Structure 1
Amino acid sequence: MNKPAPAGPSTLIDVAREAGVSPSTVSRILNGTARVSDDKRQAVLKAIARTNFAPNLMAQGLKKGRTHTIGIIVQDISSPFFDETLHGVDDGLKGTGYASVIVTGHWSALEEADRIRLLLARKVDGIVLLSGSLPDDELLHFATQRPIVVTGRALDAPNALGFTMDNEHGAWLAVRHLVELGHRRIAFVSGPPSHADASSRLRGYRRALEEADIPFDPKLVVEGNFRENSGVLAMNYLYDAGTTFTAVFAANDQSAYGARLALYRRGVHVPDDVSLVGFDDLPGSAFTTPPLTTVRQPLYDIGNTAITALLRLINGDRVPTRVPPVELVVRETTKRH
């Protein structure tokens, strides 16, 4: 039988007694600084629910000079890439007492700087920048005011951390897979050259070809924009130009989706006529027709790692950021040529 909730407002001590932990452990779980097992964290969260405990975040904020809000800057709120990453951020905030304010940078350094100023004016305790174009020197300037964690680049400075995935290696894995299947005419739907990850994936594409003694043919590379429409346009451009190829590596899954649609409309069968590989492993990629072979980025882990690193920075604790490496996920859009 459940214990009745206290008649008056419950206290942190009530929660600690109910959960069987110390009051300091409850406090550290609430402010996101505790390193405890999932079982202990769940026990505290259940005790909070049973006792109807409501921490006075305003009082805590005044005492520590904090607002218990985190600014999150994404580049495209409609992108499934950022949707999955935000899922990791959201789970990382559970039980910490922090809430997020999400704004959009639209892949523009000017807009990112404007959004950071907006978040700083709202007195957020820290900022996570998911990818983006803002130069490091500007980012470090803002970090003098609040802790910042950025994904998509390596950064290690006072009050700022950044980490990236090995995009070049991921692209190399994709193209090597196609080469091992006997393909030598491999088209590449690239990303915008202004994006560091797009440039890295182009280098991986070229390195895999070079290692296989396959000459690089610029006619097989079509610049895209990481959206579905660029995959469609790239395939139409290649076919209308009479360019021959037996496989396509798209710089991200969304471009691969568009490429698949264009191939379907032209009566080209995947993978019987053309093999197709993407990059990201978005949640929907396992459910395309046929299921997409792709390079998996740990999108959830990227978001979760970023928010965890930021909360630790806020509390003066710098720890190395580690996320799982990229890996090739072979499904049904590739076959031997």
Structure 2
Amino acid sequence: MKKNKKSATVYDVAKLAGVSPSTVSRFLNRTTFVANSKCDRIESAIKATGYKPKFQMRQGDNRRSMTIGAIVQNPDSPYTSTIVRDMEQILISKGYSLIIATGHWQNKLETHALEYLIKSNVDGIIIITGHLNKKLIINTSKTIPIVTVGYDVESENICSLNLDNIMGGYIATLHLLQKGHKNIAHIKGLSTQPDTDARYKGYKKALDEFSIKLNKKLVKQGDFSMDLGYQCTIELIESNVYFSAIFVANDLTAYGAIKALHDRGYRVPEDVSIIGFDDLTTSKYFTPALTTLRQPIEEIGTVCALSILNSVVKGDYQARMPPMDLIVRQSTSSRFGKEY
């Protein structure tokens, strides 16, 4: 007998259209703006692949819709795209589809995204960081299972997954201290994000253990972006406060910091060492290759998907977040000494 042709997936559409799977999902669900140029490519790819989106059942239907909703902040970032990709691979293998809604770090948009997913009659919701009110999350969980990443929420129908960001910040700073650096600057992440404060606490903890007094002039408020990483590094240079290393809140910020140092005539790591946080795919190909704290990004997506499916079917899966790893590359060194 002739085998049935394998049905096209969101991944097939995304690959042909040259966009991320999350962009295809946003196009299909109309949750946020997608550029017209991308819309045209996605529509063409859907026709070419024969992809057929699965639609949700009517509200009030007590059968499973075989869909899972996910709220993310920046769907096009390498960090989020990897998590979404791995979540979707697990869900598709189990016969589920993934609906993605975006919050863009704005509470109003996150609340709207949550309401949209509830109205879409999804079987469960995954929330990847953000600023949603904990009481709102708990109230929502009374009628639908929820998995959160980056929230500390305790409730019967909620699975909270968290990485030890304090330990991550501590290990990153400790690496620089062990290289002989004492004047270590820190560019923080988004001020409203819990991971930001946790990594900063780890930074302070490491300094304290080495009896190094915190110099607040060496701490800058970033937002996890390359642009502010660049700007904060320029401010550090122009402050005339000496530093020989920078611990930045994430890899994207590190890219901006390295560019700023290069533009001002400083070499990494010969003059200033840089350590990031995330270990994005691009970090090992950056020049110099970035030393960073590897978050288990692939595992996060898998654990989220398995956890929400476990909640939907009431299984016995035990969710465990893997530890972070220090990835030492070329951007940190014990060689330093250029004063400014």
TM-score band, normalised by shorter chain: 0.7 to 0.9
Shift of 1:63: 8.6
Confirm or deny that 1:130 pairs with 2:128: yes
User: How far does the alpha carbon of each residue in 1:217-265 deviate from its partner, in whole angstroms, 9 at most, with x for none?
Assistant: 0000000000001110111111112121000100100100100110111
State the distance in 2 between where 1:62 and 1:149 align: 23
RMSD: 2.1
Aligned counterpart in structure 2 of residue 245 of structure 1, from 243, 246, 256 = 243
State the distance in 2 between where 1:102 and 1:184 align: 44
Aligned counterpart in structure 1 of residue 172 of structure 2, from 154, 171, 174 = 174
State the distance in 2 between where 1:205 and 1:5 align: 57
Identical-residue share of aligned pairs (%): 35
Aligned counterpart in structure 2 of residue 329 of structure 1, from 294, 302, 327 = 327
State the distance in 2 between where 1:95 and 1:249 align: 39
Shift of 1:69: 1.1
| Structure 1 runs of 4+ with >2 Å offset | 3-6, 56-59, 61-64, 153-156, 317-320
State the distance in 1 between where 2:333 and 2:56 align: 59
What one-letter code is carried by the residue in structure 1 that aligns with 2:290? L
Partner of residue 65, structure 2: 67
CA contact (8 A) 1:271 1:333 kept: yes
User: How far does the alpha carbon of each residue in 1:4-44 deviate from its partner, in whole angstroms, 9 at most, with x for none?
Assistant: 459xxxxxxxxxxxxxxxxxxxxxxxxxxxxxxxxxxxxxx
State the distance in 2 between where 1:232 and 1:290 align: 16
Mapping for residues 92-111 of structure 1, pairs under 5 Å? 92-111=90-109
Mark the CA change 1:5 to 1:167 in structure 2 (over 3 Å): closer, same or farther.
Answer: closer
Mark the CA change 1:198 to 1:58 in structure 2 (over 3 Å): closer, same or farther.
Answer: closer
State the distance in 2 between where 1:58 and 1:284 align: 36
What one-letter code is carried by the residue in structure 1 that aligns with 2:302? N
Partner of residue 263, structure 1: 261
State the distance in 1 between where 2:175 and 2:272 align: 14
State the distance in 1 between where 2:103 and 2:145 align: 18
Partner of residue 290, structure 1: 288
Partner of residue 202, structure 2: 204
CA contact (8 A) 1:189 1:231 kept: yes
Shift of 1:155: 3.3
CA contact (8 A) 1:226 1:252 kept: yes
State the distance in 1 between where 2:69 and 2:210 align: 45
State the distance in 1 between where 2:118 and 2:61 align: 19
CA contact (8 A) 1:72 1:130 kept: yes
State the distance in 2 between where 1:136 and 1:149 align: 13
Shift of 1:136: 1.7
State the distance in 2 between where 1:308 and 1:249 align: 33
User: How far does the alpha carbon of each residue in 1:90-137 deviate from its partner, in whole angstroms, 9 at most, with x for none?
Assistant: 221132111111110111222212111111111111111111111221
Which of 313-322 and 157-166 deviates more? 313-322
- SS of the aligned residue for 1:157 comes to coil
Shift of 1:58: 8.5
Which of 314-323 and 67-76 deviates more? 314-323
Unaligned runs of 5+ residues in structure 2 are 5-53, 336-340
Aligned counterpart in structure 1 of residue 273 of structure 2, from 275, 280, 285 = 275
Shift of 1:78: 2.0
Aligned counterpart in structure 2 of residue 213 of structure 1, from 211, 214, 227 = 211
Which of 311-320 and 276-285 deviates more? 311-320
User: How far does the alpha carbon of each residue in 1:178-203 deviate from its partner, in whole angstroms, 9 at most, with x for none?
Assistant: 00000000010001232110000000
Mark the CA change 1:182 to 1:110 in structure 2 (over 3 Å): closer, same or farther.
Answer: same
Partner of residue 234, structure 1: 232
TM-score (ref. length: structure 2): 0.80
Unaligned runs of 5+ residues in structure 1 are 7-55
Which of 89-98 and 160-169 deviates more? 89-98
Partner of residue 115, structure 1: 113
State the distance in 1 between where 2:138 and 2:63 align: 22
Partner of residue 29, structure 1: none
Equivalent residues, number: 286
- SS of the aligned residue for 1:66 comes to coil
What one-letter code is carried by the residue in structure 2 that aligns with 1:334? T
CA contact (8 A) 1:85 1:302 kept: yes
- SS of the aligned residue for 1:72 comes to strand
Mark the CA change 1:317 to 1:109 in structure 2 (over 3 Å): closer, same or farther.
Answer: farther
Aligned counterpart in structure 2 of residue 316 of structure 1, from 292, 295, 314 = 314
State the distance in 1 between where 2:3 and 2:274 align: 58
State the distance in 1 between where 2:119 and 2:207 align: 49
